[in-house]
Amino acid sequence: MASVGPSAASSQPALPSGPAVFKTIPYAFILPEILCGTWVWILVAATSVSLPLLQGWVMYVSLTSCIISLLLLLSYLLGLHRNSENWKVLDSLYHGTTAILYMSAAVLQANATINSEFRFDTPLNYQLNCAASFFAFLTTFLYILHAFSIYYQ
């Protein structure tokens, strides 16, 4: 006699808890998002900020995103989600919104980099701005990957 069980179409993959977070896509993207985002605000803070309005937004987005992503990672590690389907929606909305905000910050940082080249700043300041732009676009890409992969999961 065949065993009766839930069909494959109705079973949803469980949300990871504990160390399994680091082995499961898209949740494994959270730690690189935090690390790259941390590099963004460290590099921007290390420059002599010549355009405070532009780079202030970059600092705000990167710092806020790092803190919220760290809290999200901790909640996954501690299992606070309790395998709720609403948690996936919250995660997808957060990462989608953050990807949009990070894209705006990355473009503004690239603009600040271009302006710092033409202001005859020190070469170190220009290189720090270039590195901050690179990590801002990389972090944007990670947030986009996370948002789409959780959405299509």
Cis peptide before 123 (omega within 30 of 0): no
Quick: pLDDT tens for 58-83: 999 999 999 999 998 888 888 777 77
Structure tokens at 54: 């532009």
Return the percentage of the chain with pLDDT > 70, whole number. 86
Judge contact between 115 and 51, C-beta under 8 A: yes
Contact 109, 136 (CB under 8 A): yes
Residues 63, 46: Cα–Cα separation, whole Å: 14
Q: What is the pLDDT of residues 3-13, one digit of tens each?
A: 554 444 445 55
Encode pLDDT of 46-58 as tens digits. 988 777 888 889 9
Least confident of 94-103, 107-116, 120-129: 120-129
Q: Residue 145 carries which side chain, given as an amino acid letter?
A: L
Q: What is the model's pLDDT at position 2?
A: 53
Cα separation of 112 and 36, whole Å? 19
